[in-house]
């Protein structure tokens, strides 16, 4: 019984802390955050869905990210961009890493590979996201001068 209450308390605390973050949400979505210099957006899609509905995109991702392992289930894409007038400009002169922490608190961290996208370069990689529930995604960005940023996202995986 104590474990159940502790788990509920932990989840509520994490939820409240995520709401207490500074006003960093650009759009009405938890998948885009604004930093002073640029915006960071993430997208997560299952490998099954990519193969079935977007085979050309899957082929491109395999070319740039390699073949997923038998344990990988999802692709994480990261776009770094800013608005210049009426245009959106995608920025690609960065080293980008991502850490994905599962609802069971298992973490995977890896460097993301740059790949061309319809509007500019994105960064991406394959991750194991087997369990349903709330994932914590941390994106680590380093520019050519060594400046670093960390951007946190919560992602709810449902089937």
* pLDDT digits 0-9 by tens, 4-19: 332 333 333 333 333 3
150 inside domain: yes
Is residue 36 pLDDT above 50, yes or no?
Answer: yes
82 inside domain: yes
CA separation for the pair 144, 132 (Å, rounded):
37
Beta-carbon count within 10 A of 125 CB: 25
Is residue 159 pLDDT above 80, yes or no?
Answer: no
**Domain span including residue 61:** 24-157
pLDDT for the residue 118: 80
Domain count, the chain: 1
138 inside domain: yes
1 inside domain: no
CATH code of the domain in which 28 resides: 2.60.40.3340
* 89-146 pLDDT per residue, tens: 999 999 999 999 999 989 999 999 999 888 889 999 999 999 999 999 999 999 999 9
69 inside domain: yes
80 inside domain: yes
132 inside domain: yes
Give mean pLDDT, residues 33-45: 94
Dmax (CA) for the chain in angstroms is 56
Tokens (6 digits) for 41: 């957006």
11 inside domain: no
């Amino acid at each position: 019984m104590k474990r159940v209450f502790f788990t509920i308390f932990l989840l509520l605390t994490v939820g409240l802390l995520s709401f207490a973050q500074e006003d960093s949400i650009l759009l009405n979505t938890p998948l885009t955050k604004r930093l002073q210099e640029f915006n960071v957006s993430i997208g997560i899609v299952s490998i099954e869905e990519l193969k079935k509905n977007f085979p050309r995109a899957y082929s491109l991702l395999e070319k740039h990210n390699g073949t997923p392992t038998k344990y990988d289930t999802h692709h994480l894409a990261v776009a770094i961009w800013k608005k210049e007038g009426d245009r959106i400009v995608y920025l690609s002169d960065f080293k980008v890493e991502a850490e994905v922490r599962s609802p069971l608190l298992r973490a995977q961290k890896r460097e993301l590979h740059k790949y061309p996208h319809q509007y500019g370069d994105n960064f991406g990689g394959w991750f194991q996201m087997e369990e349903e529930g709330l994932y914590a995604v941390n994106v680590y960005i380093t520019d050519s001068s060594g400046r670093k940023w960390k951007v946190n996202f919560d992602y709810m995986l449902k089937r």
